[in-house]
Structure 1
């Protein structure tokens, strides 16, 4: 995976790096989910993106003023 192609970093550091790269509306929810693995954090972020995008293309919500 791109976060740690050499598999040298601790999982908690990989999770933190992933969260830092998220859209601002995802950070608190993903961080507070206390994911134990990067895969768990990724799945949480994907779930949020899907929920925010119900009835429209993925991430279209981010272009609608005052949507969140």
Structure 2
């Protein structure tokens, strides 16, 4: 969670660090398991979270929920 929080803090505004952090966390927990929980294909998840990916906000939220994470405003 600290890793994702640091990515949220340091992201340059284009979502690149957040996307990379979510990809790292998803790979660590198992992309197949995360993709099933998020309701997407494994390939689609890899594509969305790749350096070239540009996931929709809904996709980011589904992945975060599948990882057991929540987005909060402070």
- What is the TM-score with the length of structure 1 in the denominator? 0.36
Q: Greater RCO between the two (CA within 8 Å, min separation 6)?
A: 2
- Larger % of helix: which? 2
